[in-house]
Chains A and B, each alone.
Chain A
């Protein structure tokens, strides 16, 4: 597959991944802020967000990894410092997504333990990380 096609599908996958993470981030932040028990409609909402996370966000993340890795190997970027910094941010985003997925599962079970407070700030963290990733990938400053 040509570089431009790989890049196009990689960007599309990243948009799907980050869009899904943003939805989960806002949803979990609302849950963290509220101490009252979940209403019936909210439980249904958790199931919808969880299903989206499992069927869209997670496959998009896996596709973004695979296509990104393929591009980096083909272009020989693994010795570039910008890619190393980008990979650290990608690992951070992936870890945050793992925590979010686990928390959504816990919330769906109606478990008592409330989500960690740091998840309240995950939406701005995701946006800052993706902005930095976009700059690193496009400008390749070092």
Chain B
């Protein structure tokens, strides 16, 4: 028997919550790479920093892209939303904007606001 509507919504919300965490992890490792490891390598002459943080960010980026593919394949995201979620992964501190966007989608599933951030009064 298919799960109830409420169970399916809870599943989607859990997925979006995990996606937010992975997005923050990806964003934090990108910031650490660009603003800590790269200056340490080129200014302070410590190349070990990039060789440690680089692969960690690589893993976090891969996980984020995989989570995004998994999330959009199982839901109905618009092309603009997908493009936005991809672009922010390349922008330092973009993950923090993404966090708010994903939180809004999560709340929209709970029925309180629409993904665009407007209050949903239809329900």
Contact of B55 among A40, A69, A105, A110 (CB under 8 A): A69
Asked if A105 contacts B74 (CB within 8 A), the reply is: yes
Q: Classify the interface of chain B: helix, strand, loop or mixed.
A: helix
Contact of A73 among B8, B15, B55, B75 (CB under 8 A): B55
Q: Classify the interface of chain A: helix, strand, loop or mixed.
A: helix
The residues of B with any CB-CB pair to A shorter than 8 Å are 1-3, 8, 11, 15, 51, 55, 58-59, 62-63, 65-75
B22 CB, nearest partner CB in chain A, Å: 11
A: number of interface residues (CB 8 Å): 27
The residues of A with any CB-CB pair to B shorter than 8 Å are 38, 40, 43-44, 61-62, 65-66, 69-70, 73, 91, 94-95, 97-106, 108-110
B52 CB, nearest partner CB in chain A, Å: 9
Asked if B73 contacts A102 (CB within 8 A), the reply is: yes
Task: Please provide the 8 A-B residue pairs with the shortest distance between their CB atoms, ordered closest to farther.
Answer: A102-B73, A98-B69, A102-B74, A110-B2, A105-B74, A98-B70, A101-B70, A109-B8
